[in-house]
Amino acid sequence: MVFEIPRLVDGPLALRPHTPADLDAVYARCLDPLTIKWTTVPLDYTPEMAREYLAGISVPQENAVSWALETGGNYAGTIDLRFQGANSGNLGFVTSPEFRGRGLMSRAVRLVLGHAFDELGWDVVTWSANAGNAGSYKTVWRCGFPAPIAVPYLLNHRGKMVEGWISTLANGDSREPAASWADTARRLPSVPAGVE
């Protein structure tokens, strides 16, 4: 199944196809220490890798759709929705460092959930991240995802299977937090030794 890349808008935030103009910002984002820590971006990332990455995600893809976040005319991050079969998919996202802490990615997640549930008619959307990535979870918590569960050896992180957190939201579930962040944060799974 090939997915188109519809433009989605929430006030000054737009989700749109990536363009070659995003190259410098994508490359800079991939050198950011937090991006390196929590994602699988190659450690030897080069501008050519960024160029190839953009070429692959700026057009309709089979079983996935990728949007660039744009605000004020600036690239602010990337969000992906990947089809995983059985009328469901999963989210992946990364925010450029200079745009963190503004709630932009939570707004983007809300737009993507609306697209997945209301336009594509999916039943379930899943979020997962390396154990301990509370910042990523807080992004989806704002959109109704319940506290994650920890699963040993869930994710491949640069050739090593690591513990991950996973949470799911079903079509029809509330897209608002079920509890305060303070209460939810207390219920987050413990982080394995060696994970900061």
Mean pLDDT of 100-114: 97
86 close to 120: Cβ distance less than 8 angstroms: no
Looking at the chain, the whole-number percentage of residues with pLDDT higher than 90 is 96
Token pair for residue 10?
């929430």
Q: List pLDDT tens digits, range 43-99.
A: 999 999 999 999 999 999 999 999 999 999 999 999 999 999 999 999 999 999 999
Q: How confident is the model at residue 1 (pLDDT cuts 50, 70, 90)?
A: confident
Q: List pLDDT tens digits, range 119-169.
A: 999 999 999 999 999 999 999 999 999 999 999 999 999 999 999 999 999
State the Cα–Cα distance between residues 27 and 105, nearest whole angstrom. Answer: 19
Token pair for residue 122?
């999916």
Quote the pTM value: 0.95
Mean pLDDT of 169-189: 96
Q: Give the pLDDT confidence score for residue 196 in this predicted structure.
A: 55
Q: How confident is the model at residue 116 (pLDDT cuts 50, 70, 90)?
A: very high
Q: Give the pLDDT confidence score for residue 178 in this predicted structure.
A: 94
Q: Tell me: domain 7-186, CATH 3.40.630.30, correct?
A: yes
Q: Give the pLDDT confidence score for residue 105 in this predicted structure.
A: 98
Phi, psi of 47 (to 5 degrees): -60, -35
Nearest residue to 80 via CA among 32, 24, 172, 15: 15
Q: How confident is the model at residue 191 (pLDDT cuts 50, 70, 90)?
A: confident
Domain ranges of the chain: 7-186
State the Cα–Cα distance between residues 103 and 100, nearest whole angstrom. Answer: 7
Residue 118's CB is within 10 A of a number of other CB atoms, namely: 10
∠ CA(146), CA(149), CA(155), 5° rounding? 120
